[in-house]
Amino acid sequence: MTDTVKQKNEMFEQFIDKIEVVYAVLLAWGFARVAERFVYSWSYVCGALISGLVLIRFFFAASHNVKPIAEKSEISPLHQKFLFFWDIPLLILHSFIYYRMCVALSEFNFMHFYIIFCNLLGINVIWLISINDRLIRKGARPLQWCSKWTLNNFVHISIFAVLIISRRDYLLFWVALSNCVIDFSLTASDYLGFKSK
């Protein structure tokens, strides 16, 4: 490997590391709000559990969502620009939606908490579909974890919608928990980096 290639690889890794730090701080900011207002009530503890699981799940977005598509943009200045106008803003949007979700919980607005969580899953589905679509168009293999995450989130968004419309809010926690447990069960090795595709 030449020094120039090595230097480019190091710069790219530093770029991803910096994005991960900023994103992690923004997510932690939201969870701190939940911890700050913590009360021992069933609804709040359930919401705090979901917030914690979602924090763990979405913590990996920079390395698992931005990195693969950024790597494929190396030979295309247009795709590099698209990364800054689409992928990075969507990553930051995830953290802001998560923050609003945590604020709703800290204000004891439990229905709003789950509605925002449903919105977070929806934005995530759109982003994951766009990532896999661009990888396929570039001749790369789609990311298998994207397909699993997309399907899991889409199914749960549909269930959330039915429950929210029918005002069966007592089931929302269980649907949210199901979404997180299925996600971890299907993709734990992907999160940890034991599977690359």
What is the distance between the alpha carbons of residues 124 and 6, in angstroms, rounded to a whole number? 33
DSSP 39: -
Task: Look over the chain and give the mean of its residue pLDDT values, rounded to a whole number.
Answer: 85
Instruction: Determine the Cα–Cα distance for residues 119 and 161; give it in Å rounded to an integer.
Output: 10
Weakest mean pLDDT among 72-76, 173-177, 179-183: 72-76
pLDDT band for position 22 (50/70/90)?
Answer: confident
Among residues 90, 49, 92, 63, the alpha carbon closest in space to that of 180 is found at 49
CB 88 within 8 A of CB 15: no
This prediction's pTM: 0.86
Question: pLDDT band for position 197 (50/70/90)?
Answer: very low
